[in-house]
Structure formats: structure tokens, C-alpha cells
Chain A
Amino acid sequence: DTAVSQTPKYLVTQMGNDKSIKCEQNLGHDTMYWYKQDSKKFLKIMFSYNNKELIINETVPNRFSPKSPDKAHLNLHINSLELGDSAVYFCASSLGLVSYEQYFGPGTRLTVT
């Protein structure tokens, strides 16, 4: 049983396309996150949702739009993809906003050509 799952694992697409990455957690957690890890391996938080409410929205282009249909899911939709969007995107979840442990998914490697 995978705690935090992401689909797809790999995504190759062309500039200008729109794509979505899905995340699901079966841990019963209230809080979910999206992180981006670039080619230099720096991991940066993008968004955080708590009980389907947006809590953290870092300086991310508005081409990125998270959507949380329920507490167990947090999807990431990206419009008009650019070369610089190529990265590994990680979803994570935690019991609550101040929980000490975040559980990360396996990542989605996005390549924009």
C-alpha cells in the first residue's frame, strides 16, 4: 500500500502544452504539498493545502494551479509549459500543518522539450 502516490512517474511534453500531475494519499492526512526539485537538486515548496484550503503559495508563476478535490488528493495543473518547468515534482502529505513529519511521494519527472 503506497502512502503517497503520484501519476505519472515520467512526463515528456513539448513547450506550450498543458499537463497535469496527480497526487493521492491514503494516510488520512489533512495537509498536502507540492515541491519542485530542479536540476541543481534544490527542493523548494510550491503549494500547501490544509483541509482543501490553500495555505502556502510561494512565488510560483500563475501557470501553475493546484486543485484539491478532497483531502486525499492534490493535483497540479501546469499551463503553457516552458523549458524551465523541467524538474522533478514531489507531492507530500502530513497529519496537519504543524506536524513534524511529511511523507513524500516518489516524484514525477517532467521534461519539457
Chain B
Amino acid sequence: DAKTTQPPSMDCAEGRAANLPCNHSTISGNEYVYWYRQIHSQGPQYIIHGLKNNETNEMASLIITEDRKSSTLILPHATLRDTAVYYCIVRDDYKLSFGAGTTVTVRA
């Protein structure tokens, strides 16, 4: 049911920026892109969302391409605690449909 495609896994060095790509080529004009993450054995946690413009908050930045067919989540300075599964979600009505996500491992 997920409308997004993400790489299954990626590694990142501690202190470096982590860039997580997501393809959502079938996104429609009024659908938002959401990012959540799930740290091992915990419930998912909201990170950020956006429609057209780039967005930034205290956790991350979201870069959405002009055609809106893809986006990138940027963790500016990854720490070991950022090791988690990251989910890119295109919201369908009232539902969040989680795909397989990207397993991000931050290494010291």
C-alpha cells in the first residue's frame, strides 16, 4: 500500500550528515510527505513533514524536489542515538501507510 520507495539500509558516520532519499513518483498535488522513525523496540516517532517547500525543524531538514516526485531527509549531525528505521510516508486520507523504511546505522 506504501506509495514510497526507500533504500533498505544505509550507514552513516557519527557527526556527519545523513541524507535519506525517498521516491514518491505517484504523489498527488495535495498529499504531504511525512517522515517518521522507529528506534529499536520503541514506537514510531514523528520527525517532519512537508508539501512543496523545504522544511527544517530541530530534528532534521526535508528537501522536496520541484516536481515533488522525490525527497531527502537530512539529519545534519548524526549521533549513535539516530540509529533507527526511517519511514518516508505519503499520507493517504486519514491513514499513515508505513512501508519497509530505511534502516540507518550510525557508526562511531
Residues of A with Cβ closer than 8 Å to B?
Answer: 4, 41-45, 48, 55-56, 90, 92, 97-98, 100-107
Q: List 17 A-B contacts (CB under 8 A).
A: A4-B43, A43-B38, A43-B98, A44-B97, A56-B94, A56-B95, A92-B44, A97-B94, A100-B34, A100-B49, A101-B46, A101-B49, A102-B46, A103-B46, A104-B42, A105-B43, A107-B41
Q: If A100-B32, A100-B34, A100-B49 touch, does A45 touch B43 (CB 8 Å cutoff)?
A: no
Interface size on B, residues (CB 8 A): 19
Contact B45 A104 (CB under 8 A): yes
Chain A residues with CB below 8 A from B46, complex form: 100-103
A40 to nearest B CB, angstroms? 8
Chain A residues with CB below 8 A from B97, complex form: 44-45
Chain A residues with CB below 8 A from B75, complex form: none
B100 interface contact, C-beta 8 A: yes
Q: Is the interface of B mostly helix, strand, loop or mixed?
A: loop
Q: Report the Cα distance A90→B85, complex, angstroms.
A: 16
B7 to nearest A CB, angstroms? 16
Q: If A41-B100, A42-B100, A100-B49 touch, does A90 touch B43 (CB 8 Å cutoff)?
A: yes
Excluding A41-B100, A56-B94, 12 further A-B contacts by CB distance (< 8 Å) are A42-B98, A42-B100, A43-B44, A45-B96, A48-B95, A92-B44, A102-B44, A102-B96, A104-B45, A105-B43, A106-B43, A107-B42
Q: Report the Cα distance A41→B97, complex, angstroms.
A: 13
Chain B residues with CB below 8 A from A100, complex form: 32, 34, 46, 49
